[in-house]
Structure 1
Amino acid sequence: MAGGFTLVELLITVAILGVVSAVAIPSYLGVVDRTDRKAKVAEVIGLAKECAAANAGGSDGPGIVISDPRTGRPVICGGDPRRRWRKNIKSQKFAKRGPVDCLGQNFANAGSVWVRVEDDGRMRCIRRN
């Protein structure tokens, strides 16, 4: 008699794998979506901090140029006081809408965020759809 698995054993194994997959895959996709949102918010906050430091520095030099993550356009921060006005740094759109924590503000169903940098260096988050 050859050693092998019976049909019932194989069916039970397939059923168990199906149940585990049905539970694990949605959970994994939720983690991926949360990670995507957090990474994009962290990127825009980092750029906004650079811009805020340049604005608060008060130097009359050329300032700094950062690239807006969403549009790729240059944003000039700091330097000449005539250019030191409010800037909006925009995050890339999230893969899936969901809750976001940005600079202590919680947004329930955000599609992206903007970080507004005031001319004196203060920052605040704005939810965008």
Structure 2
Amino acid sequence: MSDGTIHTLQGTSTKHKLSRSMRTKTKLQKVHHLNKREDDALNASENQPNAFTNKKNVMWVILSGAMALTFVVMLFLPDSGMGTGLIATYSAMLWCGFFGSALWRFSNKSGWSGFAFGSLFGFILQFASQLL
């Protein structure tokens, strides 16, 4: 009877070892599958262009141009809220500068010089709006 009990215990321990090794193997396969999915996701994100560093993204030119146009039109409209104060000068200079920077970067030139030219243009427009 003790022999039968030993065989049963040994058989149980062998089954237990097999099932443990199969569970470990399954866990390793799941981990490998998850790692592969994460690697695929990282590779996909690396292949997508970044909108903030892409100099040829026309969206920045359009958005900054629209904002510059908004503030320049408000300079020439009476009682539009821009007034004659320093805020009007700064807003025109700022948004025209952003537009110039985006436009220069889009054409592969220095964004800083584009900002300077755009700000100068905004400053001149602000003076012109006061004269008209």
TM-score range, shorter-chain basis?
Answer: 0.3 to 0.5
Task: Select the structure of larger CA radius of gyration.
Answer: 2
The structure carrying a bigger helix percent of its residues is 2
- TM-score, scaled relative to structure 2: 0.38
